[in-house]
Structure 1
Amino acid sequence: MADELGLLRSANPVPADGAHYGDGPLDHHAERHLNRLLHDPHSGRGRRHSRLMWGLAATAVVVATSLTVLLSGPGSAPAVAAPRPLTVRAHSTPVPLKQLAELAEVTATDGDPELRKGTHVQSWSLSMSDHTAPVTLPEERVVRWNADDSHTELVVATDPRHPGRPVLTDEGGEPRTVEDGHVLSRQTYPPSWSDAPPVARPPHDAARLRAYLKEAVRTDSSLTTPELLDAVEELLDNWTLGARESAALARLLADVGGLRPVGQVTDRLGRTGQAYVYDAKGSRRMLVLDPATGAVLGLETTFTEDEPEYGVKTGDVMEYSAWMR
Structure 2
Amino acid sequence: MADELELLRRANPVPSGDPRFGDGPLGHEAERRLSRLVGPTADERPKPGGFLLGRSSLGRLLRGPRPRRTRLAWALATTAAVAVTSLALLLAGPSTVPAVAAPRPLVVRADSTPVPLDRLAERAGVAAAESSPGLRKGTHVQSWSMGMSEDEPPITLPVERVVRWNADDSHTELVVATDPRHPGRPVLSEGDGDSALVDDGHVISEQTFPPSWSDAPPESPPPHDAKRLRAYLQDAQHSDTPLTTFELLDVTRLLLNTWTLGPREDAALARLLADAEGLRPVGQVTDRLGRRGQAYVYDAIGARQMLIMDPVTGAVLGLEITVMTAEPEYGLKVGDVMDYSAWMR
1:132 alignment partner, one of 143, 146, 152: 152
The match for 2:127 among 103, 107, 112 is 107
Aligned counterpart, 1:307: 327
**Residue aligning to 1:284:** 304
User: Which of 257, 260, 264 matches 1:237?
Assistant: 257
1:132, CA displacement in angstroms? 1.1
The two structures have a TM-score, normalised by structure 1, of 0.78
Of the candidates 237, 244, 248, which is equivalent to residue 224 of structure 1? 244
Query: What code does the residue aligned with 1:154 have?
Result: L
TM-score normalised by the chain length of structure 2: 0.74
Structure 1 counterpart of 2:288: 268
- Equivalent residue letter for 2:321: T
Residue identity in the other structure for 1:211: A
CA drift at 1:91: 1.3
Q: RCO higher in 1 or 2 (8 Å CA, sep ≥ 6)?
A: 1
- Equivalent position amino acid for 1:105 in 2: G
Residue 57 of structure 1, aligned match among 79, 85, 102: 85
The alignment partner of 1:258 has SS state of: coil
CA contact (8 A) 1:289 1:295 kept: yes
Shift of residue 110 of structure 1? 3.0
- For structure 1, list consecutive stretches of 5 or more residues without a partner in the other structure: 1-33, 63-69, 73-78
C-alpha offsets along residues 42-61 of structure 1, whole Å, 9 cap, x if unaligned? 3589x796484983323549
RMSD, matched Cα: 2.9
Out of 231, 242, 245, which is 1:211 matched to?
Answer: 231
* Cα distance, 1:233–1:147 mapped onto 2, change above 3 Å: same
1:3-56 Cα offsets, whole Å, 9 max, x none, are: xxxxxxxxxxxxxxxxxxxxxxxxxxxxxxx999679943589x7964849833
C-alpha deviation, 1:257, in angstroms: 2.7
Distance 1:269 1:103, change over 3 A: same
Deviation at 1:90, TM superposition (A): 1.4
Cα contact 1:60–1:133 (8 A) shared by 2: no
Q: How does 1:170-189 map to 2 (within 5 A)?
A: 176-189=196-209
Residue 139 (structure 2) aligns with: 119
Summarize the Cα distance change of 1:169–1:109 in structure 2 as closer, same or farther, 3 Å threshold: farther
AA aligned opposite 2:271: R
Indicate the percent of aligned positions where both proteins have the same amino acid. Answer: 65
Aligned-pair CA distance for 1:175 = 6.7
Aligned match for 1:248, one of 268, 272, 286: 268
1:57 counterpart SS class: helix
Q: In structure 1, what is the Cα distance between the partners aligned to 2:117 and 2:194? A: 43
Gaps of 5+ in 2: 1-35, 68-73
Aligned residue runs from structure 1 range 5-24, under 5 A: none
The structure-2 alpha-carbon separation of the partners of 1:240 and 1:196, relative to structure 1 and needing over 3 Å to count, comes to: same
| Alignment-mate amino acid for residue 177 of structure 1 | L
Q: Matches of 2:239 and 2:326 in 1, distance apart?
A: 31
Aligned length: 278
> Residues 100 and 155 of structure 2 are in contact (CA less than 8 Å); yes or no, is this contact kept in structure 1?
no
Structure-2 change in CA distance of 1:71 and 1:133 (3 Å): closer
Q: What secondary structure is seen at the aligned counterpart in 1 of 2:172?
A: strand
Please give the secondary structure, in 2, of the residue aligned with 1:200.
Answer: coil
The aligned residue for residue 159 of structure 1 is: 179
Q: Deviations over 1:89-147 (max 9, x none)?
A: 11110000000000110011133360000000000000001111100010000000011
